[in-house]
Amino acid sequence: MEIQTVGIVGAGQMGNGIAHVMSLAGYDVMLNDISDDALSRAMEAMRANMSRQVGRGKIAEDDMEAALARIKTTTTLTDLGSSDLIIEAATERETVKQAIFEDLLPALKPETILTSNTSSISITRLASRTDRPEKFMGFHFMNPVPVMQLVELIRGIATDEPTFNACREVVARLNKTAASAEDFPAFIVNRILMPMINEAVYTLYEGVGSVESIDSSMKLGANHPMGPLELADFIGLDTCLAIMNVLHDGLADTKYRPCPLLTKYVEAGWLGRKSKRGFYDYRGDVPVPTR
**Catalytically active residues, by annotation:** 119, 140, 152, 190
Is 88 labelled as part of a ligand binding site? no
H-helix or E-strand spanning residue 234: helix 228-235
- Between CA 154 and CA 124 the distance in angstroms is 10
For residue 110, give the 3-state DSSP assignment.
coil
End-to-end CA distance of the chain: 53
Is 98 labelled as part of a ligand binding site? no
Alpha helices, DSSP H, located in 8-160: 13-24, 36-55, 61-69, 94-104, 123-128
For residue 71, give the 3-state DSSP assignment.
strand
Is 7 labelled as part of a ligand binding site? no
Is 97 labelled as part of a ligand binding site? yes
Is 138 labelled as part of a ligand binding site? no
Is 4 labelled as part of a ligand binding site? no
Q: Which amino acid is at 149?
A: Q
Is 43 labelled as part of a ligand binding site? no
Signed CA dihedral, 97, 115, 172, 192: sign only: positive
3-state helix, strand, coil in the chain (%, to 5): 50, 15, 35
Is 12 labelled as part of a ligand binding site? yes
Is 274 labelled as part of a ligand binding site? yes
Which residues belong to the annotated binding site?
A: 10-15, 33, 92, 97, 119, 143, 274
Which residues belong to the annotated binding site for NAD(+)?
A: 10-15, 33, 92, 97, 119, 143, 274
